[in-house]
Amino acid sequence: DQQVKQNSPSLSVQEGRISILNCDYTNSMFDYFLWYKKYPAEGPTFLISISSIKDKNEDGRFTVFLNKSAKHLSLHIVPSQPGDSAVYFCAATQGPGVYSSASKIIFGSGTRLSIRP
Amino acid sequence: DAGVTQSPTHLIKTRGQQVTLRCSPKSGHDTVSWYQQALGQGPQFIFQYYEEEERQRGNFPDRFSGHQFPNYSSELNVNALLLGDSALYLCASSLKSRGGTKNIQYFGAGTRLSVL
């Protein structure tokens, strides 16, 4: 039973345009959502997160939106750059409090983002 | 400041053998989690260690066991290896949440295990 789903295995976006990566989840008890980025031969790197009590979090070119009623979150990258080409994992945690990111992380299957010139 | 380090980077074993993977957490971190990432999938949580005890466990059989040492480093042991155990094994470290402080898990580059 996949609790975090990324239905698009791949996405190709032109450099300078917006990249939108989507994610759906089924467990309403998740209280914290994260996006990780992974380059080949490296471990996943934390990118941005959002608490379930918020609907938007922004960090530079990266913005994550959370729609709790739809159990959906998205990552927007504006503008997209060649270095953004990587696999992006949506993830979620469920813990005793809002900031429970030391709890186990449930990952989606990832979306491979390619930024073309 | 060294991040999370894992050894070895690659390993080849045969069915039925046993394997031990090692992880050194990021400086200052006290919690270690292990994940298995099969090809084309996201990482799956195996277990988490804090204060030298297993605190949480995912849906993995008892063939998967671990240990955490007083210096916070950790080992993952897998007995009676199956072909399906072939995967990238990732270690992540963090500081146990205290008082509502946000803590992020930092991942190592992983150990690629191939079972033949």
How confident is the model over A81-98, as pLDDT tens digits?
Answer: 999 999 999 999 886 544
> Quick one: average pLDDT of B33-42?
94
> Is the pLDDT at B87 greater than 70, yes or no?
yes
Taking CB atoms and an 8 Å limit, are B97 and A97 in contact across chains? yes
Query: For chain B, what percent of residues have pLDDT higher than 70?
Result: 93
* Mean pLDDT of chain A, nearest integer: 91
Name the residue in chain A with its Cα closest to that of B9.
A41
CA B93 to each of CA A45, A80, A105, B48: distance values in angstroms, whole numbers, following the listed order? 12, 30, 12, 9
For residue B64, give how far its alpha carbon lies from the nearest alpha carbon of chain A (Å): 16
Query: For chain A, what percent of residues have pLDDT higher than 90?
Result: 80
> Is the pLDDT at A75 greater than 80, yes or no?
yes
* B56 close contact with A: CB closer than 8 A: yes
> Quick one: average pLDDT of B73-102?
87
Taking CB atoms and an 8 Å limit, are B105 and A102 in contact across chains? yes
Q: Show the tokens assigned to B85.
A: 């155990």
* A39 close contact with B: CB closer than 8 A: no
Q: Is A113 exposed, middle or buried (0-12, 13-18, 19+ CB in 10 A)?
A: buried
Among A41, A91, A101, the residue with its CB nearest the CB of B102 is A101
Query: Residue B95 — pLDDT band, cuts 50, 70, 90?
Result: confident
To probe the interface with B, which of A25, A93, A105, A107 has the most B CB atoms within 10 Å? A105
> Is the pLDDT at B4 greater than 90, yes or no?
yes
Which range, of A39-43, B5-9, B44-48, B98-102, averages the lowest pLDDT?
A: B98-102
Query: Residue A107 — pLDDT band, cuts 50, 70, 90?
Result: very high
Cα A65 off chain centre by: 9
For residue A50, give how far its alpha carbon lies from the nearest alpha carbon of chain B (Å): 11
What pLDDT sits at residue A100? Answer: 45
Taking CB atoms and an 8 Å limit, are B104 and A101 in contact across chains? yes
Taking CB atoms and an 8 Å limit, are B42 and A110 in contact across chains? yes
Q: Show the tokens assigned to A89.
A: 């994992």
- Chain A residues with CB under 8 Å of B42 CB are 4, 6, 89, 91, 107-110
Amino acid at A115: I
Any idea of the CA torsion for A47, A52, A53, A54, to the nearest 10 degrees?
A: 40
Q: How many CA atoms lie within 13 A of A102 on its CB side?
A: 21
Strand partners for B44: B36
> Is the pLDDT at A79 greater than 90, yes or no?
yes
* Mean pLDDT of chain B, nearest integer: 92
What pLDDT sits at residue A31? Answer: 85
What pLDDT sits at residue A98? Answer: 41
Among A36, A44, A97, the residue with its CB nearest the CB of B100 is A97
> Quick one: average pLDDT of B31-44?
94
| Dist CA B60 CA A26 (whole Å) | 21
What pLDDT sits at residue B99? Answer: 53
For CA atoms A43, A46, A47, A53, the dihedral sign is positive
